[in-house]
Amino acid sequence: MQTWWGICRFVEDIPQGVRNIITWFPLIWYDRDFDRDYLLYIMRKKLEGMEKVASRSCFKHSDQDAENMKTCRLLIDRIVAEECCGRNQQSEDTRYLFELMGKYLLSWWY
């Protein structure tokens, strides 16, 4: 019975898996293990998708969750931008990004 359930779940997951491959492939293709910016790009992509779902959700704190995800996404944009306001601002943005994620990450959805 459990094997049958696993097969059914796999078949149901195929469309989402294909969408994930199409969505993530361009980002993963250019990822390099030595490039810290791609870690941030991957985090940004994930936050962008989660923000869309949270903004359409009816969970108790979903509006605030979406806003926090957007703030994290915007901080990532500022950190990787070439015209960043200098090393001190970049360090402050990085500190705030991980402070915000550390505070809210575990409460986003579960």
26 and 43 housed in the same domain: no
Parent domain of 8 = 1-30
75 and 92 housed in the same domain: yes
Compute the distance between CA of residue 22 and CA of residue 78 in angstroms, rounded to an integer.
Answer: 26
Compute the distance between CA of residue 56 and CA of residue 7 in angstroms, rounded to an integer.
Answer: 30
64 and 22 housed in the same domain: no
Full-model pTM = 0.81
44 and 67 housed in the same domain: yes
62 and 96 housed in the same domain: yes
75 and 21 housed in the same domain: no
Banded pLDDT at 72 (limits 50, 70, 90): very high
Higher pLDDT, 47 or 56: 47
What's the total number of domains in the chain? 2
